[in-house]
Structure 1
Amino acid sequence: MQKLKPYLRWFILGGTLFFIAKTLRDHWQEVASIRVGAEAWGYLAIALTITLLAHVWTGWVWGWILAGLNHPVSGFWSSRVYLQTNVAKYLPGNVWHFYGRAWAAKAAGIPLEIASLSVLLEPLLMAAAALIVALVSSSAAYKGLQLLGLGVVLVAVHPRSLNPAIRLVGRLKKPKTKVDADSTENPAPAIPPIQHYPFLPLLGELIFLGLRGAGFCFTVMALTAIAWEQVPLLLGAFSVAWLLGLIIPGAPGGIGVFEATAIALLDNHFPPAMVVSAVAVYRLVSLLAELAGAGIAWLYSRRI
């Protein structure tokens, strides 16, 4: 499997890009005929602002995760680090943003084990939030599979699941020392156990997914009129597409996977040319928001 893993990543990326390219080729004339007016630019500006706000917010939520792991930090610090490292997810490997956050937390005095656990919990809570939004917003098939996945994630982030893992990591990291056989002293553990279920970070990630979904809806509104009853469909499709982009390997930043999934889910409900245009424009909006967030965080760090 290790030998096949690099080829699997290229196969997934190549397959999704081929699907998108074929769809674009089949509807190229319709895509080229779409015009963006003054009102549409206003919708895109709202989509950009909301998406940027979503990234700032989820950086704050990462601070809540660290606080739940008994290492509280400033929300301004966690948002700044999150924004500065977020663009690294587009590098090959799709792990460098996690690596950057873990080492930034370690440099701030947080044990590396706790920092690593926080960046593991973050995508798990995001995945749970995406599944909840998809289940509530959409009437799509595979709800049984979505419920199963949600149950697995919710159990995985429970303290009864996390604390044994923390104790195991603590024992593996603990240096071997000679202890007096007559001594009854029990040193305090380096990593305190987690006491509470991460309800607040989960709520925070739900708000994050809601903001990202709203940004996607405004992007669609820039290209076509939508009715209120179509909003749940868009939110559900966005959540599933975003989740698959998060968990499927070989797609840094979810590029290709998100677009292909969104096109497949929305193709029967909206004109194909509009869907292709919307996912392409939303990718641009998302990239601009992430770059703007990284720039703002860098300027903020220069002032402190």
Structure 2
Amino acid sequence: MNGEKLMKRLAHITGTAIFLACLGFIGYYVFTNWPSRIDIRISVLLAAALVYFAAHLTNVLSWLAIVRALGSRLSLKEGGRIVLISQVGKYLPGNVAHHLGRAALAKRMNVPLKVSAISTGIELSSAILASAFVGAAALVILPEIPTSAVVAFVLVLLAGIAIYFSPWKPALWSLPYLTVSTALNCLSFQLVEGSTWALPAFALAWLLGFLVPGAPGGLGVREAALVAMLGPNMAPIIIHRLMTVVVDALVAAVAYLTLKTKKSAGEVSSGSDTLNG
């Protein structure tokens, strides 16, 4: 048990070190390569924000598909509030706060912690498969098809088939939604960045940021990977990151206020019933 804790601690320390190194790398590139002029139209940025917002909706459907498959019955509104409020926790160090917050909120909606724990494992596996599939598929449809992309595409398909015949079959109920969500995330970045290669590059960069422990929301790791793949133009990379943070905050705030309003209305109704009684 102590050995397991030590390995987890070492993984967290390593992830934190990578996160800090990537932040330093990004800071250097921002300082040395920030353009004197940014040619990104407001209309394009708004379109990218709407596409990114749509990805939140598919994330809600993904999580609901898993918990419903595991026996819990949540409405779309309840599931939406839980996912949208908790997702801002991904910006906290450790990259697990959003899963813990989701489990806590779901518990208040009578979703057992065991279901939340299982759903987290399924969702993480599905997210990895989805990003790999989108990245490989995007590379395959580009004019010059790298052999590695075809191999990756086939491997992801085989992984999906293997999951279908395994105890992790519920992952397939979330996989279509997460695949759409990943594609929308990549598309939102491509709208801002503008190049054809932006879509597969973002899929790979997102996956790297997702896998590195300790990097909140993939911060630093994702940007470093994008610079390595697309070049030193930091403007679209930083602007897209800032846009996603703003959308995440707005979505969570609206979901929280909606939940708070609903609870307040319920408390007033309960008090009125007590008085009448």
Using the size of structure 2 for normalisation, the TM-score is 0.81
Aligned: 1:34 with 2:38 = yes
Aligned residues: 251
Maintained 8 Å contact 1:102/1:119: no
How big is each residue's C-alpha offset from its partner over 1:157-197, in whole Å with a ceiling of 9 and x where there is no partner? 556334xxxxxxxxxxxxxxxxxxxxxxxxxxxxxxxxx55
CA distance in 1, matches of 2:92, 2:61: 23
What SS is found at the alignment partner of 1:34?
A: coil
Q: Tell me the SS of whatever aligns to 2:167.
A: helix
1:201 maps to 2:158? no
Deviation (angstroms), 1:77: 1.3
Q: 1:59 to 1:160 in 2, by over 3 A?
A: same
Choose between structure 1 and 2: higher helix proportion. 2
Q: Which residue of 2 aligns with 1:177?
A: none
The alpha carbon displacement at 1:252 in A equals 0.8
| Unaligned runs of at least 5 residues, structure 1 | 163-195
* 1:299 Cα deviation after fit: 2.1
CA contact (8 A) 1:242 1:258 kept: yes
* Structure 2: 5+ residue stretches without partners: 1-6, 140-144, 263-277
Residue 101 (structure 1) shift: 1.1
Q: Which amino acid aligns with 1:206?
A: T
2:95 match: 94
1:302 maps to 2:260: yes
The residue that corresponds to 1:255 in the other structure is 219
State the one-letter code of the partner of 2:30.
Answer: L
* 1:110 has 2:111 as partner: yes
Q: Is the 8 A contact 1:83 1:297 kept in 2?
A: yes
Q: Deviations over 1:268-295 (max 9, x none)?
A: xxxx32xx11110010011011001101
Shift of 1:85: 0.5
Percent of pairs identical after alignment?
Answer: 27
Please tell me whether Structure 1 or Structure 2 has the larger radius of gyration of its CA atoms. 1
Partner of 1:287: 245
User: Could you say what the CA RMSD is over the residues aligned between the two structures, in angstroms?
Assistant: 2.5
- 2:10 matches 1:4: yes
- Relative distance call for 1:93 and 1:121 in structure 2 (3 A) is same
Which residue in the other structure is 2:166 paired with? 160
Match of 1:216 in 2: 189
- Mean Cα deviation higher: 109-118 or 128-137: 109-118
Q: Is the contact between residue 121 and residue 157 of structure 1 (CA under 8 Å) also seen in structure 2?
A: no
Structure 1 residues 213 and 281: alpha-carbon distance in aligned structure 2, compared to 1, 3 A threshold: same
**Alpha-carbon distance change, 41 to 14 in structure 1, aligned in 2, over 3 angstroms:** same
Tell me what 1:166 maps to. none
Amino acid in the other structure paired with 1:201:
S
Alignment-derived partner of residue 271 in structure 2: none
Kept in 1, the 8 Å contact 2:193–2:236? The answer is: yes
* Equivalent position of 1:243 in the other structure: 207
Distance 1:149 1:26 in 2: 39
TM superposition shift of 1:140: 5.4
Maintained 8 Å contact 1:64/1:72: no
Cα offset for 1:147? Answer: 5.8
How many Å separate the matches in 1 of 2:213 and 2:157?
A: 22
CA contact (8 A) 2:137 2:153 kept: no
**Residue 133 to residue 5, structure 1, CA distance change in 2 (3 Å):** closer
